[in-house]
Amino acid sequence: MGRKIPKPSSRELKRRRGRQTRKQSSGLTKGGALTFTDLMAVERVSQPAVSPDGHRVAFVTTRVDHKENRTRHTIRLLDLRSHEIRDLTPGPGSHNQPAWSPDGEKLAFVSTRNERHAKQLWILPLAGGEAKPATSGYGGVEQPLWAPDSRRIAFTRTIVVSNDYAPRKGVRVDPHSGPAKAEVYGLVNRKSSARIADELLFRHWDSWRDRRRKHIFIVDTVNGKVADVTPHNCDAPPISLRSERDYDFSPAGSEIAFVMNPDDVVARSTNNSIFLQAIRGIKPVGEAVCISDSEACDCHPRYSANGSDIVYLAMEIPGYEADRNRIKLYNRTTKKTTVFLNRFDRNPSSFALRGSDDLIFIAHDRGRQSVYELDMTSGRVTQLTSESFNGLFRIVPGSKDLLVTRESSTEPADLYRLTPGKGIKPVLSTGPPPKETPLDAGATVQRLTCYGKVLSNREMNTAEEYWYPGADKKPIHGFLIRPPHFNSRQRYPLILLIHGGPQAAFADNFHYRWNTQLFAAQGVVVAYLNPRGSTGYGQKFTDQICGDWGGRCYQDLMLGVDFLLDRYRFIDGSRMAAAGASFGGFMINWIAGHTDRFRALVCHDGIFNAETMAYTTEELWFEEHEHGGMPHEKRQSFLKFSPHRFVQNFKTPTLVIQGEQDFRCPVSEGIGMFTALQTRGVPSRYVHFPDEGHWVQHPANTEVWYHEVIGWMMSHLLR
């Protein structure tokens, strides 16, 4: 792992520095290093919704409430002409998911104004007056969508679907959580806390399902009547592999397209399919009709402006959650389906229709997220942005402009108005972009909000990017953050961060759970790489992680460390630490058994024993695709890259972190890793969060997490 990597020429270094300066200049003044308190002080911008006339934007800001140990959401209104911003929901509670009525006169949103009850749908008249609730009862409300008549609203709600549950007269139903578990399970003793499972999937991510399903409802906002339009013993929309919103009204408002997985055992299936359901008022009429033409994952249905077509995202390989999305168009007259983006080697995650034959979408692209345009007449794709991270986007009616959230490693997300230029031919190479690639592909942007400016007096260095030859000479992409007040004459410790997924990617964006600037603020260099399996570098590159978790991906990471030590002389190779979560946690456990080059390791919710993981996790399609079956069918595949087989090699001090409610990588994996370290006499520490799942989300726990992770690594790096 010590071979020499050719250094770039002085001309190439000058070009890179120039590009980096133009692209990422943050304008930050000299100041102190970023702290956890600073990180939590940022109001996080999300969920923009543009008014039908294109003049206003309702959006959500999220802030941390330390006193209550929770996050609170507020809806604000931005005038795109005057740039004035005002609060729409200044009262108590938490409010989010704004949705404009088609006539532009009302704004629907989801609120917990009464915190003793489940989230409900509220409607605010924008001409004046108070917001009023439109729904009640347990089950909550998510993803409100207005019908074209500006009277009805579709939303999702969780309901009990159980043959053992029969509501009893006089028994109070909790307005927040619904019927008691004992009632739902039909337990002989109502005081029992037992749960019963008769089928998979009985728990998911971080919660027990308790015989509940997600269904789509429609409420009539005039008379208050509500009806379930997907009354099936299935989740509609599905609870996994979802898109931004998985249902849509037809332009006439007489039909709704939605996503549902009809298979009996959804734990082993990615068969999310598009269904069409006729409706009269708020009620379904007849049976839903499936229009999907494969058993792979379909999602994100949208009607064309005249209602003649339905466009949706579609994968090709059944059972593979990380397959590349294509865009399909179903013609309702001919019943034929047309496929777009067959040769476009990026993975669209969301899209919006603009006009009759124009479609805008976003996709991961070499450590960024780029915006693209698809001409559905010619099939031609144009890249509208390059080398910038664009999050959510919305079309601004009455113009060619887009509203985007934009961020970088030094600046949290804010709202921008993006005016596309001519664009460029999509850059689909796995390696670096061509030298002549114009910054942002000719687009211009106007900043609309400045919530990220709260960090403007903190010293942060922009993310430097680099490419290096990984396993089998494939170009691998990475980023590096230098510490505040960097001095090239000093030698600094290195922290290597490893992303989860594994079919995911690190990007030049602002992360709250693994914030690179907060790690660098400790006086260390932070490196984060996108090895084999990462997204945004072509589907073949993503696929190459399958069945090879400890192979080329591990080599890519170690070769990346070699490259950094050779290129950046200010990195002290004798003081290095590595950390990761989920798949990154697996890789930390794998590293523990295969190298002692790091002084400290941090494993968060990582896999220790691949066999036990397969039988205790919930989404089995992932295990079956990765290994070609379950352990009783393909045992050697599971054993090949299982960290538990290499416990005898463990030497590196390791911090293990685990959430009790993590049902993706269950608690036994974290406890198993810690026990192995302890029995080997390896310095180790176990941090257990009983109320967290796969992620740490409560503010108090987040503070403890950062304190423990940073404290563990620095205690070993500074010895």
> What's the Cα-to-Cα distance from 232 to each of 104, 131, 214, 249, 284, rounded to whole Å?
33, 33, 10, 19, 12
- Does the pLDDT of residue 675 top 60, yes or no? yes
Q: pLDDT of 677-719, one tens digit each?
A: 999 999 999 999 999 999 999 999 999 999 999 999 999 999 8
Tokens of 460: 């942060």
pLDDT tens for 517-539 read 999 999 999 999 999 999 999 99
52-66, 436-450, 497-511: which range is least confident on average?
436-450
- The proportion of the chain whose per-residue pLDDT surpasses 70, expressed as a percent, equals 96
**pLDDT tens readout for residues 147-193:** 999 999 999 999 999 888 888 887 888 888 899 999 999 999 999 99
Average pLDDT value over all residues in the chain: 94
Residue 428 corresponds to which amino acid?
Answer: L
> What is the per-residue pLDDT across 100-131, written as a single tens digit (0 to 9) for each?
999 999 999 999 987 778 899 999 999 999 99
Architecture of the CATH domain 464-717: 3-Layer(aba) Sandwich (3.40)
Residue 647: the pLDDT is 98
pLDDT for res 347: 98
- Collapsing DSSP states into helix, strand and coil, what is residue 3? coil
Between 6 and 566, where is the model more confident? 566
Rg over alpha carbons for the chain, rounded to the nearest Å, is 26
Residues 140 and 97: beta-carbon distance below 8 Å: no
Residues in the chain: 719
> Amino acid identity of 284?
P
For 612-655, the pLDDT digits (tens) are 999 999 999 999 999 999 999 999 999 999 999 999 999 999 99
Query: Domains of the chain: which residue ranges?
Result: 341-457, 464-717
On whether the CB atoms of residues 215 and 236 are closer than 8 A, the answer is yes
Q: Which residues contact 388 (CB under 8 A, 6 or more apart)?
A: 23, 368, 370, 406, 408, 440
pLDDT top residue among 437 and 600: 600
pLDDT at 346 over 60: yes
pLDDT of 570 above 50: yes
Give the torsion sign (CA, 659, 663, 667, 669).
negative
Mean pLDDT to the nearest integer, 435-459: 92
Give me the pLDDT at residue 356, please.
82
Interval 211-243: pLDDT, tens:
999 999 999 999 999 999 999 999 999 999 999
Q: Using 50, 70 and 90 to split pLDDT, how confident is the model at 595? A: very high
Burial of 549 (0-12, 13-18, 19+ CB in 10 A): buried
Q: Is the four-CA dihedral 621, 622, 628, 629 of positive or negative sign?
A: negative
Alpha carbon distance 128, 105 (integer Å): 10
Indicate whether 6 pLDDT > 60. Answer: no
pLDDT at 357 over 70: yes
487 alpha-carbon distance from chain centroid: 36
Asked if pLDDT for residue 30 goes beyond 70, the answer is: no
Using the Cα atoms of residue 657, residue 662, residue 665 and residue 671 in order, give the sign of their dihedral: positive
Respond yes or no on whether the N-terminal peptide bond of residue 201 is cis (omega within 30° of 0).
Answer: yes
What pLDDT, on the 0 to 100 scale, is given for residue 23?
Answer: 36
